Amino acid sequence: MEFIGLDYTTLRVIWWLLLGILLIAWAVMDGFDLGVGTLLPFVARTDDERRLVINTVGPVWEGNQVWLVLGGGAIFAAWPPLYAVSFSGFYLAVFLMLFGLILRPVAFKYRSKMPGKRWRENWDRALFVGGLLPALIAGVAVGNVLVGVPFHFDDSMRIFYTGTLIGLLNPFALVAGLVSVAMVVSHGAAMLVLKTDGPVAERSARYGSVAAVLTFVLFALAGVWVAFGLPGYQITSQVVTDGPTNPLLKTAAVGAVAGGWLRNYQSMPLTLLAPILGLVGALASAVLLRARRGGLAFLASGASIAGIILTVGFAIFPFLLPSSSQPGSSLTVWDSSSSHLTLGIMLIATAIFLPIIIAYTSWVYRVMKGKTTAEEMGDNPNAY
Protein backbone atom coordinates (compact mmCIF):
# COMPACT_ATOMS: atom_id res chain seq x y z
CA MET A 1 0.00 0.00 0.00
CA GLU A 2 1.31 3.44 -0.91
CA PHE A 3 0.28 6.97 -0.05
CA ILE A 4 1.31 9.97 -2.18
CA GLY A 5 3.59 7.53 -4.01
CA LEU A 6 5.56 6.58 -0.89
CA ASP A 7 5.52 3.18 0.78
CA TYR A 8 5.36 2.69 4.56
CA THR A 9 9.09 2.08 4.95
CA THR A 10 10.01 5.27 3.09
CA LEU A 11 7.54 7.35 5.10
CA ARG A 12 8.99 6.01 8.34
CA VAL A 13 12.51 6.99 7.27
CA ILE A 14 11.32 10.43 6.15
CA TRP A 15 9.71 11.06 9.53
CA TRP A 16 12.85 9.85 11.30
CA LEU A 17 14.79 12.42 9.28
CA LEU A 18 12.21 15.13 9.97
CA LEU A 19 12.41 14.44 13.70
CA GLY A 20 16.17 14.87 13.53
CA ILE A 21 15.84 18.09 11.55
CA LEU A 22 13.39 19.54 14.08
CA LEU A 23 15.65 18.61 17.00
CA ILE A 24 18.63 20.23 15.26
CA ALA A 25 16.56 23.34 14.50
CA TRP A 26 15.55 23.64 18.15
CA ALA A 27 19.10 23.10 19.41
CA VAL A 28 20.52 25.67 16.96
CA MET A 29 17.77 28.30 17.14
CA ASP A 30 16.81 28.09 20.82
CA GLY A 31 20.26 26.88 21.84
CA PHE A 32 21.84 30.31 21.60
CA ASP A 33 19.03 31.70 23.78
CA LEU A 34 19.87 29.11 26.43
CA GLY A 35 23.56 29.85 26.04
CA VAL A 36 23.06 33.58 26.44
CA GLY A 37 21.06 33.02 29.63
CA THR A 38 23.76 30.73 31.01
CA LEU A 39 26.47 33.29 30.19
CA LEU A 40 24.57 36.27 31.65
CA PRO A 41 26.25 36.30 35.12
CA PHE A 42 29.71 35.99 33.60
CA VAL A 43 29.77 38.36 30.62
CA ALA A 44 27.73 41.26 32.07
CA ARG A 45 28.94 43.15 35.16
CA THR A 46 26.58 46.12 35.32
CA ASP A 47 22.82 46.47 34.97
CA ASP A 48 23.22 48.19 31.60
CA GLU A 49 25.41 45.34 30.36
CA ARG A 50 22.89 42.76 31.57
CA ARG A 51 20.10 44.56 29.75
CA LEU A 52 22.27 44.64 26.64
CA VAL A 53 22.80 40.86 26.84
CA ILE A 54 19.11 40.16 27.44
CA ASN A 55 18.00 42.33 24.54
CA THR A 56 20.23 40.50 22.05
CA VAL A 57 17.77 37.59 22.27
CA GLY A 58 14.72 39.52 23.51
CA PRO A 59 13.06 39.94 20.09
CA VAL A 60 13.51 36.32 18.97
CA TRP A 61 13.47 33.90 21.91
CA GLU A 62 9.72 33.27 21.75
CA GLY A 63 9.83 32.43 18.05
CA ASN A 64 12.80 30.12 18.59
CA GLN A 65 10.76 27.95 20.94
CA VAL A 66 8.44 27.12 18.05
CA TRP A 67 10.96 24.45 17.05
CA LEU A 68 10.62 22.74 20.43
CA VAL A 69 6.85 22.69 20.04
CA LEU A 70 7.20 21.28 16.52
CA GLY A 71 9.60 18.60 17.74
CA GLY A 72 7.29 17.56 20.57
CA GLY A 73 4.34 17.58 18.19
CA ALA A 74 6.22 15.42 15.70
CA ILE A 75 6.97 12.84 18.40
CA PHE A 76 3.33 12.84 19.52
CA ALA A 77 1.89 12.48 16.02
CA ALA A 78 4.50 10.35 14.21
CA TRP A 79 5.89 8.20 17.05
CA PRO A 80 3.11 7.69 19.66
CA PRO A 81 4.84 4.88 21.63
CA LEU A 82 8.00 6.99 21.89
CA TYR A 83 5.95 9.94 23.15
CA ALA A 84 4.16 7.75 25.69
CA VAL A 85 7.32 6.10 27.05
CA SER A 86 9.60 9.13 27.12
CA PHE A 87 7.16 11.70 28.48
CA SER A 88 5.93 9.33 31.20
CA GLY A 89 9.21 7.64 32.08
CA PHE A 90 11.15 10.91 32.05
CA TYR A 91 8.31 12.73 33.81
CA LEU A 92 10.36 14.34 36.58
CA ALA A 93 13.19 15.19 34.20
CA VAL A 94 10.74 16.73 31.71
CA PHE A 95 9.15 18.66 34.59
CA LEU A 96 12.55 20.11 35.54
CA MET A 97 13.24 21.05 31.93
CA LEU A 98 9.83 22.71 31.58
CA PHE A 99 10.40 24.51 34.88
CA GLY A 100 13.49 26.13 33.37
CA LEU A 101 11.71 26.93 30.11
CA ILE A 102 8.78 28.49 32.01
CA LEU A 103 11.04 30.40 34.39
CA ARG A 104 12.88 32.03 31.51
CA PRO A 105 9.98 33.96 29.90
CA VAL A 106 8.76 35.10 33.31
CA ALA A 107 12.23 36.47 34.02
CA PHE A 108 12.36 38.21 30.62
CA LYS A 109 9.03 39.90 31.23
CA TYR A 110 9.44 40.91 34.88
CA ARG A 111 13.12 41.72 35.26
CA SER A 112 12.95 45.39 34.25
CA LYS A 113 9.50 46.11 35.69
CA MET A 114 11.12 47.47 38.88
CA PRO A 115 14.45 49.28 39.34
CA GLY A 116 15.46 47.56 42.59
CA LYS A 117 18.89 45.91 42.54
CA ARG A 118 17.82 42.77 44.42
CA TRP A 119 14.73 42.42 42.24
CA ARG A 120 16.76 42.46 39.05
CA GLU A 121 19.54 40.24 40.40
CA ASN A 122 17.01 37.56 41.38
CA TRP A 123 15.51 37.57 37.90
CA ASP A 124 19.03 37.42 36.43
CA ARG A 125 19.57 34.25 38.46
CA ALA A 126 16.30 32.94 37.08
CA LEU A 127 17.53 33.57 33.54
CA PHE A 128 20.73 31.68 34.35
CA VAL A 129 18.78 28.69 35.68
CA GLY A 130 16.34 28.92 32.76
CA GLY A 131 19.27 28.64 30.36
CA LEU A 132 21.39 26.04 32.13
CA LEU A 133 18.73 23.58 33.31
CA PRO A 134 17.00 22.81 29.96
CA ALA A 135 20.34 22.40 28.19
CA LEU A 136 21.64 20.05 30.89
CA ILE A 137 18.46 17.95 31.08
CA ALA A 138 18.22 17.65 27.28
CA GLY A 139 21.79 16.34 27.13
CA VAL A 140 21.19 13.91 30.00
CA ALA A 141 18.12 12.59 28.16
CA VAL A 142 20.16 11.95 25.01
CA GLY A 143 22.82 10.21 27.09
CA ASN A 144 20.20 7.90 28.55
CA VAL A 145 18.98 7.01 25.06
CA LEU A 146 22.46 5.65 24.35
CA VAL A 147 22.67 3.86 27.70
CA GLY A 148 19.15 2.41 27.46
CA VAL A 149 16.07 3.18 29.53
CA PRO A 150 14.41 0.72 31.96
CA PHE A 151 10.92 0.20 30.56
CA HIS A 152 8.82 -2.62 29.15
CA PHE A 153 5.37 -3.43 27.82
CA ASP A 154 3.02 -6.12 29.06
CA ASP A 155 0.93 -8.29 26.74
CA SER A 156 -1.74 -5.56 26.47
CA MET A 157 0.88 -2.92 25.53
CA ARG A 158 0.72 -1.13 28.86
CA ILE A 159 3.94 0.74 29.63
CA PHE A 160 5.91 0.08 32.80
CA TYR A 161 8.83 2.38 33.59
CA THR A 162 11.05 1.01 36.36
CA GLY A 163 13.69 3.73 36.57
CA THR A 164 14.14 6.73 38.86
CA LEU A 165 15.27 10.34 38.42
CA ILE A 166 18.54 9.52 40.20
CA GLY A 167 19.03 6.58 37.86
CA LEU A 168 18.90 8.94 34.88
CA LEU A 169 21.89 10.81 36.33
CA ASN A 170 24.37 8.06 35.47
CA PRO A 171 27.98 8.99 34.61
CA PHE A 172 27.65 8.75 30.82
CA ALA A 173 24.41 10.74 30.79
CA LEU A 174 26.04 13.47 32.90
CA VAL A 175 28.91 13.69 30.38
CA ALA A 176 26.30 14.03 27.61
CA GLY A 177 24.61 16.76 29.66
CA LEU A 178 27.92 18.64 29.93
CA VAL A 179 28.41 18.34 26.17
CA SER A 180 24.97 19.91 25.69
CA VAL A 181 25.71 22.78 28.08
CA ALA A 182 29.13 23.47 26.56
CA MET A 183 27.84 23.52 22.99
CA VAL A 184 24.96 25.92 23.70
CA VAL A 185 27.22 28.20 25.74
CA SER A 186 29.69 28.50 22.86
CA HIS A 187 26.74 29.05 20.50
CA GLY A 188 25.31 31.76 22.74
CA ALA A 189 28.71 33.41 23.03
CA ALA A 190 28.97 33.56 19.24
CA MET A 191 25.61 35.34 19.11
CA LEU A 192 26.78 37.87 21.73
CA VAL A 193 29.99 38.55 19.80
CA LEU A 194 27.88 39.03 16.68
CA LYS A 195 25.29 41.30 18.31
CA THR A 196 27.31 43.37 20.82
CA ASP A 197 30.50 45.40 21.09
CA GLY A 198 32.83 46.42 23.89
CA PRO A 199 33.44 44.55 27.15
CA VAL A 200 30.45 42.23 26.74
CA ALA A 201 31.70 41.00 23.37
CA GLU A 202 35.24 40.60 24.73
CA ARG A 203 34.12 38.52 27.70
CA SER A 204 31.75 36.50 25.52
CA ALA A 205 34.56 35.63 23.12
CA ARG A 206 36.77 34.52 25.99
CA TYR A 207 34.19 32.35 27.73
CA GLY A 208 32.78 31.06 24.45
CA SER A 209 36.15 29.88 23.16
CA VAL A 210 36.70 27.92 26.37
CA ALA A 211 33.21 26.39 26.04
CA ALA A 212 33.92 25.43 22.42
CA VAL A 213 37.14 23.66 23.42
CA LEU A 214 35.24 21.87 26.21
CA THR A 215 32.64 20.83 23.62
CA PHE A 216 35.41 19.24 21.55
CA VAL A 217 37.02 17.49 24.52
CA LEU A 218 33.78 16.22 26.09
CA PHE A 219 32.32 15.08 22.76
CA ALA A 220 35.54 13.22 21.95
CA LEU A 221 35.50 11.66 25.43
CA ALA A 222 31.89 10.54 24.94
CA GLY A 223 32.85 9.04 21.58
CA VAL A 224 35.69 7.02 23.11
CA TRP A 225 33.33 5.89 25.86
CA VAL A 226 30.76 4.72 23.31
CA ALA A 227 33.41 2.90 21.28
CA PHE A 228 35.11 1.04 24.12
CA GLY A 229 32.97 1.12 27.25
CA LEU A 230 29.29 1.49 26.37
CA PRO A 231 27.44 -1.50 24.85
CA GLY A 232 25.10 -0.71 21.98
CA TYR A 233 21.86 -2.44 21.09
CA GLN A 234 21.30 -4.74 18.15
CA ILE A 235 18.25 -6.44 16.65
CA THR A 236 18.86 -10.18 16.41
CA SER A 237 15.63 -11.11 14.63
CA GLN A 238 14.70 -10.52 11.01
CA VAL A 239 13.84 -6.86 10.53
CA VAL A 240 10.43 -6.08 9.00
CA THR A 241 10.45 -2.44 7.90
CA ASP A 242 6.84 -2.17 6.80
CA GLY A 243 5.13 -4.17 9.52
CA PRO A 244 2.51 -3.03 12.03
CA THR A 245 3.30 -0.75 14.95
CA ASN A 246 3.96 -3.16 17.81
CA PRO A 247 7.40 -3.36 19.48
CA LEU A 248 6.53 -6.80 20.90
CA LEU A 249 6.38 -8.38 17.43
CA LYS A 250 10.15 -8.77 17.39
CA THR A 251 10.74 -12.50 17.38
CA ALA A 252 14.11 -12.33 19.10
CA ALA A 253 15.60 -10.20 21.83
CA VAL A 254 17.33 -6.93 21.16
CA GLY A 255 20.51 -7.15 23.15
CA ALA A 256 23.39 -4.89 24.14
CA VAL A 257 26.67 -5.80 22.46
CA ALA A 258 30.14 -4.29 22.71
CA GLY A 259 30.67 -1.64 20.05
CA GLY A 260 27.06 -1.98 18.94
CA TRP A 261 26.59 1.73 18.41
CA LEU A 262 29.42 1.76 15.85
CA ARG A 263 27.91 -0.71 13.39
CA ASN A 264 26.24 1.95 11.21
CA TYR A 265 29.53 3.83 10.88
CA GLN A 266 31.22 0.64 9.75
CA SER A 267 28.53 -0.25 7.20
CA MET A 268 27.92 3.35 6.02
CA PRO A 269 31.25 5.22 6.21
CA LEU A 270 29.71 8.50 4.99
CA THR A 271 27.96 8.81 8.36
CA LEU A 272 31.41 9.48 9.86
CA LEU A 273 31.03 13.01 8.49
CA ALA A 274 28.64 13.75 11.38
CA PRO A 275 31.12 13.30 14.28
CA ILE A 276 33.82 14.98 12.19
CA LEU A 277 31.51 17.97 11.71
CA GLY A 278 30.82 18.06 15.45
CA LEU A 279 34.52 18.10 16.32
CA VAL A 280 35.76 20.40 13.55
CA GLY A 281 32.88 22.83 14.08
CA ALA A 282 33.68 23.13 17.80
CA LEU A 283 37.38 23.83 17.14
CA ALA A 284 36.56 26.30 14.38
CA SER A 285 34.14 28.09 16.69
CA ALA A 286 36.86 28.42 19.35
CA VAL A 287 39.32 29.91 16.85
CA LEU A 288 36.76 32.25 15.32
CA LEU A 289 35.58 33.47 18.72
CA ARG A 290 39.15 34.30 19.64
CA ALA A 291 39.37 36.28 16.39
CA ARG A 292 36.06 38.09 17.25
CA ARG A 293 34.40 36.76 14.08
CA GLY A 294 30.93 36.39 15.58
CA GLY A 295 29.00 35.53 12.42
CA LEU A 296 31.38 32.80 11.29
CA ALA A 297 31.69 31.49 14.85
CA PHE A 298 27.90 31.25 15.02
CA LEU A 299 27.82 29.20 11.81
CA ALA A 300 30.63 26.98 13.08
CA SER A 301 29.00 26.33 16.45
CA GLY A 302 25.67 25.68 14.73
CA ALA A 303 27.39 23.16 12.45
CA SER A 304 28.96 21.52 15.50
CA ILE A 305 25.55 21.20 17.18
CA ALA A 306 24.09 19.65 14.03
CA GLY A 307 27.03 17.23 13.78
CA ILE A 308 26.70 16.15 17.42
CA ILE A 309 22.96 15.46 17.12
CA LEU A 310 23.40 13.64 13.80
CA THR A 311 26.15 11.52 15.37
CA VAL A 312 23.70 10.19 17.94
CA GLY A 313 20.95 9.67 15.35
CA PHE A 314 23.18 7.75 12.95
CA ALA A 315 24.65 5.65 15.78
CA ILE A 316 21.35 4.39 17.18
CA PHE A 317 19.37 3.97 13.92
CA PRO A 318 16.94 2.23 13.64
CA PHE A 319 16.43 2.53 17.40
CA LEU A 320 14.45 5.39 18.88
CA LEU A 321 14.56 4.32 22.53
CA PRO A 322 16.30 1.10 23.63
CA SER A 323 15.03 -0.71 26.72
CA SER A 324 17.72 -1.75 29.18
CA SER A 325 15.38 -3.86 31.35
CA GLN A 326 13.63 -5.78 28.54
CA PRO A 327 15.52 -5.28 25.25
CA GLY A 328 12.70 -6.83 23.24
CA SER A 329 10.51 -3.86 24.17
CA SER A 330 12.92 -1.38 22.57
CA LEU A 331 11.30 1.12 20.25
CA THR A 332 12.59 1.28 16.68
CA VAL A 333 11.73 3.23 13.56
CA TRP A 334 10.09 0.09 12.13
CA ASP A 335 7.69 -0.71 14.95
CA SER A 336 6.85 2.56 16.73
CA SER A 337 5.34 4.87 14.13
CA SER A 338 1.83 6.04 13.42
CA SER A 339 -0.12 4.42 10.61
CA HIS A 340 0.86 4.70 6.97
CA LEU A 341 -2.09 7.03 6.29
CA THR A 342 -1.31 9.28 9.25
CA LEU A 343 2.34 9.68 8.27
CA GLY A 344 1.32 10.53 4.70
CA ILE A 345 -1.25 13.16 5.69
CA MET A 346 1.18 14.76 8.15
CA LEU A 347 3.89 14.86 5.50
CA ILE A 348 1.58 16.88 3.23
CA ALA A 349 0.81 19.28 6.10
CA THR A 350 4.53 19.59 6.88
CA ALA A 351 5.35 20.33 3.24
CA ILE A 352 2.86 23.22 3.36
CA PHE A 353 3.52 24.78 6.75
CA LEU A 354 7.23 24.18 7.39
CA PRO A 355 8.35 26.47 4.50
CA ILE A 356 6.01 29.16 5.85
CA ILE A 357 7.64 28.92 9.30
CA ILE A 358 11.13 29.04 7.77
CA ALA A 359 10.23 32.04 5.59
CA TYR A 360 8.72 33.95 8.52
CA THR A 361 11.69 33.16 10.77
CA SER A 362 14.11 34.31 8.06
CA TRP A 363 12.19 37.56 7.66
CA VAL A 364 12.29 38.22 11.42
CA TYR A 365 16.04 37.72 11.60
CA ARG A 366 16.54 39.95 8.60
CA VAL A 367 14.54 42.74 10.26
CA MET A 368 16.39 42.27 13.56
CA LYS A 369 19.89 42.12 12.10
CA GLY A 370 22.62 44.44 13.34
CA LYS A 371 24.18 45.22 16.70
CA THR A 372 22.21 45.73 19.89
CA THR A 373 23.31 48.97 21.54
CA ALA A 374 22.54 50.91 24.73
CA GLU A 375 21.15 53.76 22.62
CA GLU A 376 18.77 51.39 20.86
CA MET A 377 17.49 50.11 24.20
CA GLY A 378 16.90 53.64 25.42
CA ASP A 379 14.87 54.55 22.34
CA ASN A 380 12.83 51.35 22.31
CA PRO A 381 9.95 51.25 24.82
CA ASN A 382 9.59 47.51 24.22
CA ALA A 383 13.18 46.72 25.30
CA TYR A 384 13.62 44.48 28.32
pLDDT score, position 80: 92
Interatomic CA distance for residues 16 and 11, integer angstroms? 9
pLDDT score, position 1: 52
SS3 per-residue string spanning the chain:
CEECCEEHHHHHHHHHHHHHHHHHHHHHHCHHHHHHHHHHHHHCCCHHHHHHHHHHHCCCHHHHCHHHHHHHHHHHHHCHHHHHHHHHHCHHHHHHHHHHHHHHHHHHHHHHHCCCHHHHHHHHHHHHHHHHHHHHHHHHHHHHHHHCECEEECCCCCEEECCCHHHHCCHHHHHHHHHHHHHHHHHHHHHHHHHCCHHHHHHHHHHHHHHHHHHHHHHHHHHHHHHHCCCEEEECCCCCCCCCCCHHHCCCCEEEECCHHHHHHHHCHHHHHHHHHHHHHHHHHHHHHHCCCHHHHHHHHHHHHHHHHHHHHHHHCCEEECECCCHHHCEECCCCCCCHHHHHHHHHHHHHHHHHHHHHHHHHHHHCCCCCCHHHHHHCCCCC
pLDDT score, position 37: 94
pLDDT score, position 251: 56
- Consecutive sets of 10 residues in the chain, 384 residues long: mean pLDDT of each? 77 95 94 94 91 89 88 91 87 89 89 87 94 95 93 86 85 96 97 93 96 97 92 84 83 70 92 96 97 95 97 95 88 92 93 92 87 74 69
Domain positions in the chain: 21-338
Bridge partners (DSSP) listed for residue 7: 2
pLDDT score, position 252: 56
pTM score > 0.85 for this model? yes
Question: 21-338 has which CATH code?
Answer: 1.20.1630
